[in-house]
Structure 1
Amino acid sequence: MIDQDTLSVEATLASLRAVGEATRLRLVALLGQSELTVKDATAILGQSQPRISRHLKLLAEAGLILRFPEGSWVYYRLADGPAADFARDLVKRISATDPVLTADRERFQAIRKAKAEEAAAYFAAKAATWDTERSLHAADSDVEKALLRVLGERPFQSFLDLGTGTGRLLELLSDRYVSALGIDASHDMLSVARANLARIGLSNAQVRHGDIYALNVPPRSFDVVAIHQVLHFLDDPARALAEAARALRPGGRLLIIDFAPHELEFLRETHAHRRLGFGHDQMKRWLEALDLEMEQVTDLAPQSDENTNLTVTLWLARDPRIVTDLPVAEPTREVA
């Protein structure tokens, strides 16, 4: 029997055939640094869209890469598993000064820079609105410290961030998890998140377009799921919590960060809030209905004592199903 971490002779030959062409080898080298679209690859390699698409299709059929549709775009990245690891190893054995791959990397960095500038412009356009809201509650740094304190220092295998926004939680928890996925409904915010992850060289975290009410993730597949300042934008928070609970592994934890009940009606009008906060009892009922056990509740007072300011609450719940306490590999932070 072939070990699941190794390849059979047939699979090895299939992988060699898949990468045994100059364009496909260059694509594997690029995808080892970051996910790409066909448009990105076309600009970097200077080849036609049909040609690039064909090569990507062959690599996908060989199990070396994965494709993720996102609206009218499709993102590609290296797959997990021995076949993709084999391809990575082949690339590592190519000279770092190879002129073709060096030129590809330079064009790739130019595209990254342009995307980062676009993301920064989008973020700047939204900053004034967000700054108004931030001034009403505890400083983001205090919320993040509380979040880290609530989760504890023990590392875990997999992390899912729902409504990832700029990808801040993926960055903040990068020393705790082995792999992570951020999901958001906004293509613009995903562009910001991708630029941020690229900037810090965080390659074990990915972001995807998705619907928080219908998550395209396997059930029982994440150790920690976070919903940070998202529920108050939703018409049906309970339904989103049900999807989050479905993604939890036995023994997994769900962390919710949102506002306590308040009466700031202007947030509905100017900030698109659907709900004016959530009470402890309400959240407990929702979580108990999902067979989750509340473990901890933390309230963070606003920055001032004014009645017009907001309290941030952190709720931590756990899936009580029995889980075998296996050791978790230490998180690694790969630099692209």
Structure 2
Amino acid sequence: MERVLSGLRAAAEPTRLRLLSLLAQGDLTVSELTHILGQSQPRVSRHLKLMCDSGLLDRFPEGAWVFYRLAATGTGADLARSLLPMLPAGDTTLALDRQRLDQVRAARAARAQTYFTENASRWDQIRSLQVDDAQVEQALVATMAGRRIADLVDMGTGTGRILEVLAPHIQRGVGIDLSREMLAVARANLERAGCRHCMVRQGDITQLPLADSSADAVTIHQVLHYAAEPARVVAEAARVLKPGGLLVLVDLAPHALELLRDQHAHRRLGFSDAEVDGWLSAAGLRSDGQTRLAGDPLTVVLWRAIKS
């Protein structure tokens, strides 16, 4: 009872209702909210703290920034989602907030595109050596067929593409990446695609900011060849998987292209089935087969595993 009353008190103020409306649309920082609301940062911060304390909002530190979003679970989340349909669709203040939110998103997208354009050439070179991305994505979607996936975790999410591809097949998705620049790209991409049930967070994929047994599925797409300790990444994926949960590793079969190590920071030149199976077994996962997609000269492999 007290939790409900606390949430109602926290929401019962015009600015806080505006914040609920805005943060139901996705992640925003204090500075972005200050721009949209036209209020001082200390005042906005006080509202946000009260709403976080009452469970209406979640906060996610990311370097010097903090992102806020409508709470994902709990009494506060249920209350917030119950209040949102009650907000009048034609309210002029909320309409102006939405216009300013569109401006914030456009600025984000422009910054993300600048970063992506400046770095796209190195990704294009790698793509030209392997099977077409569309084939890999189709195979990845096929691995999810027939499974009920409430919560998906994409480790090393990069541009957020895997979340975008799998969004129609999941209830919620979270992508974890250490690079703030890549997270900016991912946020812009997910917003453009309308994937409001997906989010991205800054974090180390060897120490995920997630609870044990909290995910129905985990994807690790073209990440392990950068990892200093791939087995540790696999073990961390196993930690957050629920029993019966699915892990899909997508990476390269063994190859001899040293340019990927010299020019693109690959630590490992692909992985054998035996090596991957060893990591899976050590992490308490049962191999569920592989799918091989031959490119020229690189072959992409999808390794599937189930948590016992």
Q: Distance in 1 between matches of 2:14 and 2:144?
A: 46
Q: Distance in 2 between matches of 1:154 and 1:239?
A: 26
Q: Does 1:282 align with 2:275?
A: yes
Deviation at 1:15, TM superposition (A): 1.9
Other-structure match for 2:112: 119
Q: Does 1:232 align with 2:232?
A: no
C-alpha distance 232-91 of structure 1, shift in aligned 2 (>3 A): same
Deviation at 1:85, TM superposition (A): 2.7
Deviation at 1:130, TM superposition (A): 0.6
Deviation at 1:144, TM superposition (A): 1.0
Q: After TM superposition, list the pairs within 5 Å mapping 1:53-202 onto structure 2.
A: 53-79=45-71, 80-202=73-195
> Which digits, 9 at most, give the CA deviation of each residue in 1:104-138, with x for residues without a partner?
11001110011111111111111111110000000
Other-structure match for 1:312: 300
- Equivalent residues of 1:166, 1:196 under 8 A apart: yes
SS at match of 1:144: helix
Other-structure match for 1:333: none
Identity among equivalent pairs (%): 51
Q: Distance in 1 between matches of 2:209 and 2:263?
A: 31
Other-structure match for 1:272: 265
1:315 corresponds to which letter in structure 2?
W
Q: Distance in 2 between matches of 1:191 and 1:314?
A: 27
**RMSD value over aligned CA atoms?**
1.2
Q: Distance in 2 between matches of 1:178 and 1:99?
A: 32
Q: Distance in 2 between matches of 1:61 and 1:83?
A: 10
Decide which structure has the larger Cα Rg and report it: 1
> Which digits, 9 at most, give the CA deviation of each residue in 1:21-68, with x for residues without a partner?
221111111111112110110110111111111110011111111111
SS at match of 2:257: coil
SS at match of 2:168: coil
Deviation at 1:151, TM superposition (A): 2.9
> Which digits, 9 at most, give the CA deviation of each residue in 1:196-238, with x for residues without a partner?
1111211111110000111110011111101000000111111
- Equivalent residues of 2:144, 2:169 under 8 A apart: no
- Equivalent residues of 1:153, 1:176 under 8 A apart: no
Q: Distance in 2 between matches of 1:75 and 1:164?
A: 17
For normalisation by structure 1, the TM-score amounts to: 0.89
Give the number of the structure with larger relative contact order, counting CA–CA contacts within 8 Å between residues 6 or more apart: 1
- Equivalent residues of 1:66, 1:76 under 8 A apart: yes
One of 29, 36, 41 as aligned partner of 1:37: 29
Deviation at 1:92, TM superposition (A): 1.9
2:274 corresponds to which letter in structure 1?
D
1:108 corresponds to which letter in structure 2?
L
Q: Does 1:28 align with 2:20?
A: yes
Other-structure match for 1:334: none
- Equivalent residues of 1:70, 1:208 under 8 A apart: yes
Gaps of 5+ in 1: 1-7, 321-336
Gaps of 5+ in 2: none
Q: Distance in 2 between matches of 1:29 and 1:142?
A: 38
SS at match of 1:174: helix
Q: Distance in 1 between matches of 2:108 and 2:185?
A: 8
- Equivalent residues of 1:260, 1:313 under 8 A apart: yes
Q: Distance in 1 between matches of 2:290 and 2:4?
A: 51
Q: How many residues align?
A: 307
